[in-house]
Amino acid sequence: MAVYYCKEKQTFTLQTKKSTYQMKVDDHGVLLHTYFGSVMDGSDLSYVIAKRDRGFSGNPADSIYQREYSLDCLPQEYPVFGNGDFRIDGFCMQGESGACSCDLRYRDYTIYEGKYHLEGLPALFADKEDKTVSTLEVVLKDQFSELYVRLLYGVFEETGAITRSVIVENHTGKPVQLHRVLSACVDFDRSDLEMIHFYGKHTLERQFECQPLMHGISGIRSTRGTSSHQHNPFVILKEKHTTEDVGGCYGFSLLYSGGFEAKVEVDQSDTARFLMGIEEENFCYTLEDKETFTAPEVCMIYTDKGMTDLSHCYHDTYMKHLIRSWWKDKKRPVLVNNWEATYFDFNAEKLLAIAKEAANLGLDMMVLDDGWFGKRDSDNSGLGDWFVNEEKLGCSLKELVDKINAMGLKFGIWFEPEMISEDSDLYRRHPEWAFKIPGREPVRSRNQLVLDFSRKDVREYVEERLYAIMDSANIEYIKWDMNRSINDVYSALLPPSRQGEVLHRYVLGLYEVTEHLLQRYPKLLLEGCSGGGGRFDAGMLYYAPQIWCSDNTDAIERTRIQYGTSFCYPMSSVSAHVSVCPNHQNGRVTPLKTRAICAMQGTFGYELDISKMTDEEKDEVRRQIQTYNEHYALFQFGDYYRLSSPFENQDYVAWEYAAKDKSYAVISIIFTDVHANAYPTRVRFKGLCESAVYEVRGEQYTGSALMHGGYRIGMPEGNYDSFMLYAKRV
């Protein structure tokens, strides 16, 4: 078991192969945070905590005349609002008196084998036989009321992950208002750290940014009801000199698909407090007596071996303990999606022409995107009317799917179940199902409104429609889209005092519908999407093993988006397609080869009208698919290495996949600038066996040579040229 309780010292120590984490109950019953870092022996580290009267830092009631004892200065596991700690905190409640105050002290603990489960929320899991995963639950109680807070810790010894969640239990006999229930707090006894986060916008998600911590509060958040394009719920805190290969870094990934926040405060004593959880601006939850509230899970990983190792730990953890899909260990179908090929302008004939060519070239699946239902020839109408538009198609869905299946292709379809168009039969019947504040015109976005997924009747309607379509034809894949940020949050079924719960209930509703869908169709391949990567988060991965990474399909901008995505999320979850040139989003022209190499960084497919390609292009596509099919296992399950940063290196982007058994590896490199009188570029392999011999382009080299000396690849024949370089153990 990786959780150790020392009765004498009152310490709890969590041990993984990567890190040690420790907390301690002090003489006042406060749960202190004493360590998170490289593996150490588990000695009680509370002796290093500096206790001094710092002035204007108050003393709790049980330490009167002990001026050096202040919660304002102590590192804590779960700091709360209103007990004399003036830093940012994880928990704020308002009790019967109307005052916001609480003071949590230690009550009890439990340790058990296996991983805790969170009702209705995504969470990491462990197989029953897996003895390397364990749970610690620590119970805290408010000094002044019967309010209990359970802190949950899941410890994954092998992959280094430590998860956290919080369950609040109300036994006060009265309702309490929860204004803030964040999921994790880590107090660092230092502030010389840098924060890496991944910001962006629609069609340019997860852009890398790194900045030193500053005094005061810095952080990121999404108030959009989704995890968002603008910020991703994944943050790294790293030491200044940490690189891809060496140094200490902490990852924090939130398993939640709604609004979130992640923030750090550097305080008067130069310590830093990190917090992460549900965004509080849109949150106020009334917890009735005897009710519980569960905060979503955070997955924390520390390694002292650099950021590549951090990413490997996340990828391995999420592949083994988060993604459940039937598809997770299987080769994903190479698909063609008709969106950029036809947009809304299609009928069965056009679709079948694409499918015919797709089958010809060796693809596995045809996906029918937006526009097949209701009245939907533009994005102004039809959402909610999930009835096949047979008039537009010219046949029934079953007829279309049967024909596509007969060509040897699987079939997938697009849905946007959380949305409603005002110009739809559903809206005309149920205007109260859309988020709208009574008496006000709502904020529209893409001319659509958001369905109130906190309502059971709404969820039941959506499930009934999804199942009806699913049962009508042989559908093996769904692209689940969500195309706006949420505004006018108001649920007609909840009283005014509970409107602050709606967004969280919406997310729970989304998880419930998705869960039901997967239970009913366990072999369904679900692809997440929100205008591309607007909901690319670990919460979604629990349901969808792959997510459409961005609506931007330009190979060059994609290298940056996929680079940022790779820090936390397994590359098999990164859905990436080859599209036409000039690119529809930015007009850039890149070689077909480069577009394919870029798309093979993730789960591979096409998004163009294959039937319009030249014979030469078709031959190239055929070869690309052969390459992907030959090496998919490496791309899906190999260790991923970022060999250069597109945010630093203006000349090229390079990355590598290495098989876990080190038997072979492939480096991909895309040139992003070219120079006169240039010198051929050298790349160094990573993750090979030093002493083994590998063959690269017909010549033999030791792993050692390829990793230390590297390999000189040819000169690019023009800008945006690209290469793949294989090293196979002989």
**What gap in Å lies between CA 707 and CA 692, rounded to an integer?**
11
| Cβ distance to ligand GLA smaller for residue 322 or 529 | 529
Looking at this protein, which amino acid is placed at residue 613?
M
374 touching ligand GLA, by CB under 6 A? no
C-alpha distances in Å from residue 181, one per residue of 27, 30, 135, 295, 725: 26, 18, 21, 6, 49
Candidates 358, 529, 574, 706; binder of ligand GLA (CB under 6 A) is 529
Pairing of strands 477-480, 525-528: parallel
**Least distance in angstroms from the C-beta of 222 to ligand GLA:** 18
**Which of these ranges, 67-75, 278-286, 435-443, 526-534, lies near ligand GLA under the rule CB under 6 A?**
526-534
251 touching ligand GLA, by CB under 6 A? no
| Cβ distance to ligand GLA smaller for residue 327 or 548 | 548
* 383-442 residues near ligand GLA, rule: CB under 6 A: 414
- For residue 97, the Cα-to-chain-centroid distance in whole angstroms is 39
| Cβ distance to ligand GLA smaller for residue 183 or 552 | 552
CB atoms within 10 A of CB 506: 26
What is the contact mask toward ligand GLA in residues 339 to 358, using x (rule: CB under 6 A)? Answer: x-------------------
Can you give 353-415 as a three-state secondary structure string?
A: HHHHHHHHHCCCEEEECCCCECCCCCCCECCCCCCECHHHHCCCHHHHHHHHHHCCCEEEEEE
**Which of these ranges, 82-90, 270-278, 528-536, 563-571, lies near ligand GLA under the rule CB under 6 A?**
528-536
**What gap in Å lies between CA 23 and CA 36, rounded to an integer?**
9
Candidates 77, 357, 370, 656; binder of ligand GLA (CB under 6 A) is 370
| Cβ distance to ligand GLA smaller for residue 184 or 482 | 482
**Least distance in angstroms from the C-beta of 129 to ligand GLA:** 40
Contact, 533 vs 203, CB < 8 A? Answer: no
**Least distance in angstroms from the C-beta of 337 to ligand GLA:** 7
**Least distance in angstroms from the C-beta of 530 to ligand GLA:** 7
- Please choose, from the candidates 689, 692, 570, 549, the residue with its C-alpha nearest in 3D space to the C-alpha of residue 635: 570
Looking at this protein, which amino acid is placed at residue 32?
L
**Least distance in angstroms from the C-beta of 713 to ligand GLA:** 33
CA angle 71, 74, 79 (to 5 degrees): 60
Contact, 243 vs 210, CB < 8 A? Answer: no
**Least distance in angstroms from the C-beta of 623 to ligand GLA:** 26
Site size with ligand GLA, rule: CB under 6 A:
12
* 431-490 residues near ligand GLA, rule: CB under 6 A: 481, 483
**Which of these ranges, 218-226, 277-285, 525-533, 694-702, lies near ligand GLA under the rule CB under 6 A?**
525-533
- Please choose, from the candidates 241, 244, 397, 376, the residue with its C-alpha nearest in 3D space to the C-alpha of residue 312: 244
| Cβ distance to ligand GLA smaller for residue 297 or 481 | 481
Contact, 576 vs 562, CB < 8 A? Answer: yes
**Which of these ranges, 9-17, 71-79, 357-365, 529-537, lies near ligand GLA under the rule CB under 6 A?**
529-537
Tokens of 170: 């109300």
- Please choose, from the candidates 252, 248, 271, 250, the residue with its C-alpha nearest in 3D space to the C-alpha of residue 261: 252
| Cβ distance to ligand GLA smaller for residue 213 or 581 | 581
205 touching ligand GLA, by CB under 6 A? no
725 touching ligand GLA, by CB under 6 A? no
* Closest-approach residue to ligand GLA (CB): 370
**Least distance in angstroms from the C-beta of 560 to ligand GLA:** 18
Candidates 532, 545, 564, 703; binder of ligand GLA (CB under 6 A) is 532
Q: Give the catalytic positions in this structure.
A: 537, 617
| Cβ distance to ligand GLA smaller for residue 414 or 542 | 414
- DSSP for 318-348 reads HHHHT---TTTTSPPPPEEESHHHHTT---H
**Which of these ranges, 84-92, 167-175, 486-494, 527-535, lies near ligand GLA under the rule CB under 6 A?**
527-535
**What gap in Å lies between CA 290 and CA 19, rounded to an integer?**
37
| Cβ distance to ligand GLA smaller for residue 339 or 373 | 339
**What gap in Å lies between CA 574 and CA 200, rounded to an integer?**
16
565 touching ligand GLA, by CB under 6 A? no
| Cβ distance to ligand GLA smaller for residue 579 or 624 | 579
Q: Is 45 helix (H, G, I), strand (E, B) or coil?
A: helix
Beta bridge partners of 286: 177
**Least distance in angstroms from the C-beta of 45 to ligand GLA:** 48
CB atoms within 10 A of CB 209: 13
Q: Is 456 helix (H, G, I), strand (E, B) or coil?
A: helix
Candidates 95, 531, 687, 703; binder of ligand GLA (CB under 6 A) is 531
Q: Kindly tell me the burial class for residue 507, based on how many C-beta atoms sit within 10 Å of its own C-beta (0-12, 13-18, 19 or more).
A: buried
**Least distance in angstroms from the C-beta of 132 to ligand GLA:** 38
**What gap in Å lies between CA 724 and CA 711, rounded to an integer?**
12
What is the contact mask toward ligand GLA in residues 321 to 340, using x (rule: CB under 6 A)? Answer: ------------------x-
Candidates 551, 554, 557, 721; binder of ligand GLA (CB under 6 A) is 551
548 touching ligand GLA, by CB under 6 A? yes
| Cβ distance to ligand GLA smaller for residue 415 or 569 | 415
Give 256's Cβ-side CA count (13 Å radius): 36
369 touching ligand GLA, by CB under 6 A? yes
Q: Which residues bind ligand GLA (CB under 6 A)?
A: 339, 369-370, 379, 414, 481, 483, 529, 531-532, 548, 551
